[in-house]
Amino acid sequence: MRYFIQFSYNGAAYHGWQNQPNAITVQQVLEKSLLTLLRQKVSLTGAGRTDAGVHAMQMYAHFEISEISDRKNLIYKLNALLPDDISVQDIFEVSASAHARFDAIARTYEYWIVQEKNPFYSDSAHYVKHPLDIAKMNEAASLLLAYKDFECFSKSKTDVHTYFCDIKVARWDKKKDLLVFTIQADRFLRNMVRAIVGTLLDVGKGKSNLDDVKAIINSKNRSKAGTSVPAKALYLTHISYPNTIAL
């Protein structure tokens, strides 16, 4: 039987989601905990990758196993066994063909910025002391919705077949102490959000303008875009699936 597992994690201690040789990952820790409790090897297929240090408020993966008789008890035991920086919220049965990655129709990320030194955000937000023109940053962010090819924001050495992404939301909002960038798309390239944020910050600081952003996107050249901002302030906040995914 195939199940989806919904979970969240603070990525500070991990080299991203996906299993890697000689590096601790969220997938490795979660699979090990499932093996301990279910007493059979479980292979998780995640909804996507997150890079080292990136967090997920909502993440999904699918796995196959014989029927789970008491899902609530399994969730309870998993949370007791897992470290404090990983939490499981739900496990539910899906159709045999349901896929955590390919069936996802939208993914949403947030990037958190503080403009005053704040010890409570030192590990969870990016401190930018330079004054920022948020209106200009929002104008530049809105330009992203008119494009599909984002090769300029992609990590140079990657195995993707296309650089096309359909961005539906890209905006900056002031939320109490935080300046939050929200972006939603059907898919994201490796390092894409952090490169976009770095580019938009250059606009906010007056280092570049709207025409520069258009030229960067059209160049398809990563070296033309802004510097990638730190991973510690990036959060995968939501993944959307069709309503028919769960049985």
Q: What residues are labeled active site?
A: 51
Long-range contacts of 73-77 (CB under 8 A, 24+ apart): 74/37, 74/38, 77/37
DSSP letters, the chain, are -EEEEEEEE-GGGSS-SS-BTTB--HHHHHHHHHHHHHSS----EESS---TT-EEEEEEEEEE-SPPS-HHHHHHHHHHHS-TTEEEEEEEEE-TT--TTTT--EEEEEEEEESS--GGGTTTSEE--S---HHHHHHHHHHGGG--B-GGGS-SS---S--B--EEEEEEEEETTEEEEEEEES---TTHHHHHHHHHHHHHTTS--HHHHHHHHHHT-GGGSPPPPPGGGEEEEEEE--TTSB-
Tokens for 158, please give them: 């990657």
Instruction: Answer yes or no: are the C-beta atoms of 165 and 148 closer than 8 Å.
Output: yes
